Amino acid sequence: MTQAKTTCPYCGVGCGVTATIEAGTLSAVEGDREHPANYGRLCVKGSALHETLGEQGRLTHPRVDGVEVSWESALSTTAERLNAQRAEHGNHSVAAYLSGQLLTEDYYMANKLFKGFLGTPHLDTNSRLCMASAVVGYKRAFGADAVPCNYEDLEEAELVVLVGSNLAWNHPVLYQRIKVAKERNPLMRLVVIDPRVTDSCEIADLYLGIKPGSDAYLFNGLLAWMAKRRKLDTLYLERHTEGVEEALAAAQQTAGSVAEVAAACDVDPERLETFYYWFASQLHVVTLYSQGVNQSASGTDKCNAIINCHLAGGKIGLPGAGPFSITGQPNAMGGREVGGLANQLAAHMDYHTPGALDLVSRFWATDNLTPILPEGPGYKAVELFEAIERGEIKALWVMATNPAISLPDAARVRAALEKCPLVIVSECAAHTDLLPYADIVLPASGWSEKDGTVTNSERRISRQRGMLPPPGEARHDWWIIAEVAKRLGFAEAFNYSHPWEIFDEHARLSGFENGLAGSPKRLFDISGLVGLGRKDYDALAPVQWPVTSQAPQGTARLFENGEFATANGRAKLLAIKPQGPVQALSAAYPLRLNTGRIRDQWHTMTRTARAPRLMNHRAEPFMDVHPDDAQDAGVVDQGLAVLSAAKGEFRARVRVSNAQRRGEVFVPIHWTDCFTQQARSSALIGGITDPLSGQPESKHGAVALGPL
Ligand code: SF4
């Protein structure tokens, strides 16, 4: 029997896991007591990890045009067909769509191949669906995509505010940490702001059941309230920020009295003012926000409305204080770090970052190869599939994700995939809704098989460790990308034998000429991890970036000295004009649709559905409906019903619930056509996105309810 330390592959908490291997199988998991994300805790999903493994249902052989082939044939064909499309239609005709499930090393390789050597900017990721608005919000305010806080701040806060986050279900270990902290500190308060009464309300001191999409009204109202009550930290604002007057003017213009804001948010004015008082009178406040804020056509503005209030009160850069975006996926952060968004170039640098193109080009150049970097951003997720539909993108490589299910307006996505001349899919599962569209299928290794790193929501880089051999002929993603790159003629730039070499290059790029005159200055810098070598990489302990020669043990909290990553070092408050959902309700579609996760499932259930005990919580798709809406529609609790939207239908069992606001319906995102042809939530969501972040408005659909 041996034991190995790794991390959970599900949510952005990034819990440490100790796995036991016996007789060639992974027989048990327990929480890693030394990992700072969870100190031994695991939620029900994490504790069932060993029950989700095994060869059954795995993709084990490469296929080309539906026929099993050797790896040599699959790799050569991939390279030949990619080159053929480029030769005929240009570099920008090829694209990649990645995933927050990939390890950082896999992400780095894909970004380097597509942007650096295939010369296309069209590489985006499913992380676009999860946290793109939070990224833009941070960049606009701080000058960098940088989460200022850490998990200990949640325990040290006097007030924790959950906005658009059912933490108890979606990031359960963090919820448990807050619960324990509250038990230890009776003065600590929790406020939950969410249209639904969720399990996260169990320990809440105050619940505000706001109208969907009204978050920016609420936080603009808070900013105006703080100004009126002289609760602004004027010294902090004066020393460390800019844009205060404009932000205040916008807040005062759009948010009148507490009663007016309460009416706009459809909440009780007294409860709203209680929240305002609590927020304004505590210095140690953490606001934790997630998809309920991000998945909106104005998600970026909502993020900045929250950040404004923290800056205005000086509630940042301190223990127990800050605006904290919690990511959904295990490695959404790692993907951002290598440049895995279409608007990024590499290593947290954007195309418009002065000097970035030259720096990355010089760094990736070899003796005989010069990168051919695109000069501007590529298509964001929804735009990417629209470009495929138009026939502009001719070749797409999808890795570790299923856009045929998860993207809004999935029927349109499927039609686009159908007409795309070349679809390559790297995947672990043998049966997904995407695979029928693939010309080339490449079997990939999965959790417990692959080696690399991930970054969790508090900027903590941890190792995921390979403990078992991949089944059949499955191979690691980094290896597949490198082998295709070699066959494309880029062998000199993709000569790696182990992920530690890729990580080392990634670390070197992060610090390459950082801080030198004329070079782009980056907050994301892990040059302190350069030169680890295989042994130290294998033993790497969890560490929070930046990791530099000045901070060799990492950095727990950012902006403690009030200096931000903007050109002038000042944080920026933004003038926010609140907007409601873009998808309008109508007589035909009178109900507001909300989508989200359930406690025991992950994404499209390819892993979690394999553990019978995880199916016990919710064994089938459902819709949560307010009793009055159920009565109006003629549907009953536990009866079957249909939700209709402009784009499609969703059929499932009704759960009549007072936790729903009147006029709103909630459905889970997990069920795919592999389980049932009728309960795919993305069929109900249109392709409306935030114009700044490109994140789809998945929380604000418009539907009609009726009996089946
Ligand atoms: Fe895994 Fe998230 Fe649960 Fe931790 S909280 S065990 S990372 S699913």
Question: Is residue 532 very low, low, confident or very high in pLDDT (cuts 50, 70, 90)?
Answer: very high
pLDDT of residue 606: 84
Task: Show the CA angle centred on residue 137, arms to residues 131 and 142, nearest 5°.
Answer: 125
- CA pair distance 581, 296, nearest whole angstrom: 7
**Shortest-distance Cα residue to atom 4 of ligand 1:** 15
Question: Is residue 284 very low, low, confident or very high in pLDDT (cuts 50, 70, 90)?
Answer: very high
Residue 395 and residue 259 share a domain: no
Look up the CATH number of the domain holding residue 28: 3.30.200.210
- CA pair distance 27, 192, nearest whole angstrom: 38
Instruction: Please indicate whether residue 13 or residue 333 has the higher confidence score (pLDDT).
Output: 13
Residue 388 and residue 515 share a domain: yes
Residue 195 and residue 46 share a domain: no
- CA pair distance 393, 389, nearest whole angstrom: 8
Residue 494 and residue 366 share a domain: yes
440 part of a folded domain:
no
379 part of a folded domain:
yes
pLDDT in tens, 243-283: 999 999 999 998 889 999 999 999 999 999 999 999 999 99
Look up the CATH number of the domain holding residue 158: 3.40.228.10
pLDDT of residue 610: 86
81 part of a folded domain:
no
580 part of a folded domain:
no
Beta-carbon contacts of 23 under 8 Å, excluding residues fewer than 6 positions away, are none
Residue 298 and residue 364 share a domain: no
Pocket test for ligand 1, best of 5, 13, 597 (most atoms within 8 A of CB): 13
pLDDT of residue 680: 79
State how many domains the chain has. Answer: 4
693 part of a folded domain:
yes
Ranges of beta strands (E only) in 23-180 are: 25-31, 63-64, 67-68, 94-98, 123-125, 159-163
372 part of a folded domain:
yes
Residue 242 and residue 382 share a domain: no
Residue 651 and residue 672 share a domain: yes
Residue 164 and residue 292 share a domain: yes
Residue 652 and residue 515 share a domain: no
CA of 448 relative to ligand 1 center, distance in Å: 15
What global pTM score does this model have? 0.96
Residue 618 and residue 509 share a domain: no
Residue 594's DSSP bridge partners are 666
Give the domain-ending residue among 478, 513, 548. Answer: 548
CA of 17 relative to ligand 1 center, distance in Å: 9
Sign of CA dihedral 673, 380, 483, 80: positive
CA of 16 relative to ligand 1 center, distance in Å: 9
Q: Which domain does 179 fall in, by range? A: 130-328
Percent of the chain with pLDDT over 90: 89
Q: What is the CB < 6 Å shell around ligand 1?
A: 8, 10-11, 13-15, 38, 42-43, 45-46, 171-173
Question: Is residue 675 very low, low, confident or very high in pLDDT (cuts 50, 70, 90)?
Answer: low
CA of 11 relative to ligand 1 center, distance in Å: 5
pLDDT in tens, 29-63: 999 999 999 999 999 999 999 999 988 899 999 99
Distances (CA, A) of 275 to 191, 322, 514: 7, 17, 42
pLDDT in tens, 608-647: 888 889 888 888 999 999 999 999 999 999 999 999 998 8
Residue 505 and residue 381 share a domain: yes
Residue 402 and residue 262 share a domain: no
Look up the CATH number of the domain holding residue 361: 3.40.50.740
Mapped onto helix, strand or coil, the DSSP state of residue 443 is strand
Atom of ligand 1 nearest to the CA of 43: 3
- CA pair distance 199, 132, nearest whole angstrom: 26
557 part of a folded domain:
no
Give the domain-ending residue among 300, 328, 356. Answer: 328
Atom of ligand 1 nearest to the CA of 42: 6
556 part of a folded domain:
no
- How far from each other are the two terminal CA atoms of the chain, in whole angstroms? 53
SS (H, E, C) 127-154: CHHHHHHHHHHHHHHHCCCCCCCCHHHH
